[in-house]
């Protein structure tokens, strides 16, 4: 297997970056269809439209209906065709961005991603999760190319709820440990190659920056203020974690996240919150040592990421209750196979129970 590293064509981040969006979009097309949910469009609409106008780009908005499913993607693709859009812009987070991605790929149009929250590391990636109309995961759709442009206005992120930024840090927290596991086993990354030195270094810097700037970034976000610490964390959550996970690979932390979704009680918790707990469990599985474990758990507690089962709605969960999580996490075809040793459902349950106990003790 050869090493493969992928990335978006251009990454732009800064306070007021949205004002420059038109010029960047102009390099890809002259008629932009902007897809976003209510919140996403509200956050960018005025400045983006003005910026496009100034740059000589015609733009129009299509409100995302809330589900990234085939019927919605087909509706948007038809709108793009009917109105002769030659570039797709996605604004918002999660499913709205995924919908914009798949719409662009299926129409073979260039894609600009404008995240308005920094809650996951998905924006830079070349994959998207497609659901059924009822919201059940149907497939992961991927493209041979990442978004042409990812543009992040730090002022917009500073105005988003801090819990979303914290959740993004939970997603980013896993990146280094998962990339390291994949590199040890020469497991395939998310684009079918093995991990480059570049991806590993990026993943490591992601972790270091979380520890150094995470707490200050949360404070800044609470105050809706753009500071150098917030800039570092936005970059860690979106760019460093995005490149790190896609070109580094995923392992136990994300498998345990997927396992946790088997329990209804965890559904109201964000992706990154479950990934953070999965990261702690991964460190226990791989016997990372108490210094490393303390460092990660203290970090999680300091910024408000879950460190106990209670924090994920699973108070008083016993082995039997958690077993479906272990089973789903270790099922065939999961990222668990990327760990440097075989992991059983029983071992995952042990790791989660131990994580919970250590997390509880650390809080006291």
Tell me which H or E stretch contains 12: strand 10-14
Would you count residue 178 as binding Zn ion (CB under 5 A)?
A: no
Could you give the dihedral angle defined by the CA atoms of residues 76, 117, 300 and 205, in that order, rounded to the nearest 10 degrees? 90
Selected range binding Zn ion among 7-15, 171-179, 206-214, 338-346, rule: CB under 5 A:
171-179
Selected range binding Zn ion among 46-54, 124-132, 164-172, 321-329, rule: CB under 5 A:
164-172
Catalytic residue status for 153: no
Contact between residue 275 and residue 173 where contact means Cβ atoms under 8 Å apart: yes
Give the residue nearest to Zn ion (CB): 171
- Min. distance of Cβ 258 from Zn ion in angstroms? 10
Catalytic residue status for 287: no
- Min. distance of Cβ 121 from Zn ion in angstroms? 6
Where does residue 2 rank: exposed (0-12), middle (13-18), buried (19+ CB within 10 A)?
Answer: exposed
Per the DSSP assignment, residues forming a β-bridge with 137 are 131
> Would you tell me the crossing angle of helices 162-185 and 197-222 to the nearest 10 degrees?
170
Between 153 and 171, CB nearer to Zn ion: 171
Would you count residue 171 as binding Zn ion (CB under 5 A)?
A: yes
- Min. distance of Cβ 308 from Zn ion in angstroms? 21
| Catalytic residue of the set 98, 257, 258, 311 | 257
- Min. distance of Cβ 171 from Zn ion in angstroms? 4
| Catalytic residue of the set 98, 121, 153, 254 | 254
- Min. distance of Cβ 253 from Zn ion in angstroms? 8
- Min. distance of Cβ 27 from Zn ion in angstroms? 30
Between 48 and 124, CB nearer to Zn ion: 124
CA diameter of the chain = 61
Positive or negative, the CA dihedral 190, 194, 199, 204 is positive
| Catalytic residue of the set 171, 258, 311, 356 | 171
Catalytic residue status for 254: yes
Catalytic residue status for 271: yes
Selected range binding Zn ion among 17-25, 28-36, 170-178, 196-204, rule: CB under 5 A:
170-178
Per the DSSP assignment, residues forming a β-bridge with 13 are 152
Selected range binding Zn ion among 54-62, 142-150, 169-177, 353-361, rule: CB under 5 A:
169-177
Contact between residue 306 and residue 300 where contact means Cβ atoms under 8 Å apart: yes
Strands (E) located in the chain = 10-14, 31-36, 58-63, 87-92, 111-115, 127-131, 137-142, 149-153
Neighbours of 50 (CB within 10 A): 15
Between 59 and 270, CB nearer to Zn ion: 270
Instruction: Give the single-character DSSP code of 335.
Output: G
- The number of C-alpha atoms within 13 Å of 77 and in the hemisphere containing its C-beta is 17
Would you count residue 98 as binding Zn ion (CB under 5 A)?
A: no
Residues with catalytic annotation? Answer: 171, 254, 257, 271
Give the residues lining the site for Zn ion (CB under 5 A): 171
């Amino acid at each position: 297997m050869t090493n493969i590293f992928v990335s978006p064509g251009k990454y732009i981040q800064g306070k007021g970056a949205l004002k420059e969006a038109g010029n960047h979009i102009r390099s890809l097309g002259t008629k932009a269809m902007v897809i976003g949910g209510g919140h996403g469009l509200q956050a960018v609409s005025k400045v983006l439209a003005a910026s496009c106008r100034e740059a000589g780009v015609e733009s129009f908005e299509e409100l995302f209906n809330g589900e990234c499913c085939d019927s919605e993607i087909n509706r948007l693709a038809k709108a793009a065709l009917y109105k002769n859009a030659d570039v797709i812009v996605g604004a918002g987070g999660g499913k709205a961005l995924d919908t914009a991605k798949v719409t662009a790929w299926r129409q073979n149009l260039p894609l600009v991603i404008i995240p308005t929250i920094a809650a996951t590391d998905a924006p830079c990636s070349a994959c998207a999760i497609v659901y059924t109309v009822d919201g059940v995961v149907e497939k992961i759709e991927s493209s041979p190319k990442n978004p042409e442009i990812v543009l992040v206005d730090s002022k917009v992120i500073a105005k988003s709820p801090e819990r979303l930024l914290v959740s993004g840090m939970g997603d980013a927290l896993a990146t280094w440990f998962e990339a390291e596991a994949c590199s040890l086993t020469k497991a395939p990354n998310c684009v079918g190659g093995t991990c480059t030195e570049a991806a590993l270094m990026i993943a490591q810097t992601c972790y270091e920056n979380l520890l150094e700037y995470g707490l200050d970034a949360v404070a800044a976000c609470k105050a809706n203020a753009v500071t150098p610490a917030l800039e570092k964390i936005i970059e860690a959550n979106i760019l460093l974690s995005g490149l790190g996970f896609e070109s580094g690979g995923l392992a136990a932390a994300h498998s345990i996240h997927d396992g946790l979704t088997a329990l209804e009680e965890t559904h109201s918790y964000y992706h990154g919150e479950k990934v953070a707990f999965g990261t702690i469990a991964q460190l226990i599985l791989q016997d990372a040592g108490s210094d490393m474990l303390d460092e990660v758990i203290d970090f999680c507690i300091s910024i408000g990421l879950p460190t106990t089962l209670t924090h994920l709605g699973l108070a008083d969960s016993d082995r039997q209750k958690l077993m479906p999580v272990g089973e789903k996490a270790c099922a065939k075809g999961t990222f668990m196979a990327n760990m440097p040793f075989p992991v059983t459902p029983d071992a995952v349950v042990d790791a989660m129970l131990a994580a919970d106990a250590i997390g509880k003790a650390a809080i006291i």
